[in-house]
Amino acid sequence: MIKVIVFDAQGTLFSSISKNEKIRNVLKDQGYDKSIAEIDDAFAMSRRIAIMLRSKGIIKLDEAGYLIENEIRFMLLGFNDEQAEALAKIMNEKWTDASNRKPYPEVMEVLEHLQASGFRLGLLTAGAATSYTKTLEKEGLLKYFAFVFGEDTTNIPKPDPKAYKRVIKESKCGADEILFVGDDLINDYEGPRKSGMKAVLVDRNNEFGNDIAKISDLKPFMSDSFIKSF
């Protein structure tokens, strides 16, 4: 029997522009114009460098680590050290607002129903929990969640099994009593299932086949029989 329901954030609870669009918009606000292709390349390379630095314990998945990763990103985009440092600070400050996150129309009603029905709710995002906590609070949704985890609080990103183990520990129940809900096949479906949790994929754009458990939005959670089917 399901006791805890854990949600992913972006694409599940919230719509949002892409990370690279956020970076481009912040740069435009500062008078710089970089193409999405340039930002794509810099983002991919800076992420690889950051992963290497984290593996050696040089930086962590926290605000200071994000700042260094952004500095590297802007240097790869051709900015000098002073410019990159200044832009990284601006990026960190504006990241949440620049995301333009909006909850999907059914989210408030579904969370209200699930909490009233006695389910414990949690969130595990591939992004920063600190950023999404601000968004949840702004949208009046934070009150529904018993815990909010992200790569900055677990120091381990999805789909590392340790991230899911942290969720299981915090849920204070068996892994098979947890239902994970998200939109990413690896991070939110296969990863949780390998850790012993149940999972359902939110496929808002009908991108995945019918051989997996999926829904087009969160409205099925308004039905108790839907949850009991897991």
> Could you write out the DSSP letters of every residue in the chain?
---EEEE-SBTTTEE---HHHHHHHHHHHTT----HHHHHHHHHHHHHHHHHHHHTTSS-SSHHHHHHHHHHHHHHTT--HHHHHHHHHHHHHHHHHHTT-EE-TTHHHHHHHHHHTT-EEEEE-SS-HHHHHHHHHHTT-GGG-SEEE-HHHHSS-TTSHHHHHHHHHHHTS-GGGEEEEES-IIIIIIHHHHTT-EEEEE-TT--S-TTS-EESSSGGGG-HHHHHT-
Range of the domain at 111: 4-16+101-228
CATH assignment of the domain containing 80:
1.10.150
Give the residue among 155, 149, 136 at the shortest CA–CA distance from 62: 155
User: What pLDDT, in 10s, does the model give residues 121-159?
Assistant: 999 998 889 889 999 999 999 999 999 999 888 878 899
Pairwise CA distance, residues 87 & 67, whole Å: 10
Final residue in a domain of this structure, among 39, 68, 98: 98
- For the chain, the residue count is 230
Are residues 223 and 149 part of one domain?
yes
Q: What is the pLDDT, as a whole number, of residue 55?
A: 85
Domain count, the chain: 2
Final residue in a domain of this structure, among 79, 98, 117: 98
Are residues 150 and 62 part of one domain?
no
Are residues 142 and 92 part of one domain?
no
Are residues 58 and 109 part of one domain?
no
Pairwise CA distance, residues 202 & 106, whole Å: 13
pLDDT above 80 for 106: yes
Are residues 211 and 122 part of one domain?
yes
Are residues 117 and 199 part of one domain?
yes
Give the residue among 105, 103, 148, 88 at the shortest CA–CA distance from 123: 148
Are residues 221 and 113 part of one domain?
yes
Are residues 67 and 111 part of one domain?
no
Are residues 154 and 58 part of one domain?
no
Query: pTM for the whole thing?
Result: 0.83
Final residue in a domain of this structure, among 63, 82, 98: 98
pLDDT above 90 for 66: no
User: What pLDDT, in 10s, does the model give residues 151-181?
Assistant: 888 878 899 999 999 999 999 999 999 999 9
**Mean pLDDT of the region 84-90:** 94
Q: What is the pLDDT, as a whole number, of residue 219?
A: 97
pLDDT above 80 for 98: no
Are residues 91 and 115 part of one domain?
no
Are residues 118 and 8 part of one domain?
yes
**Mean pLDDT of the region 196-225:** 94
Pairwise CA distance, residues 199 & 191, whole Å: 9
CATH assignment of the domain containing 202:
3.40.50.1000
Are residues 79 and 135 part of one domain?
no
Task: Output the CA angle 96-98-102, nearest 5 degrees.
Answer: 75
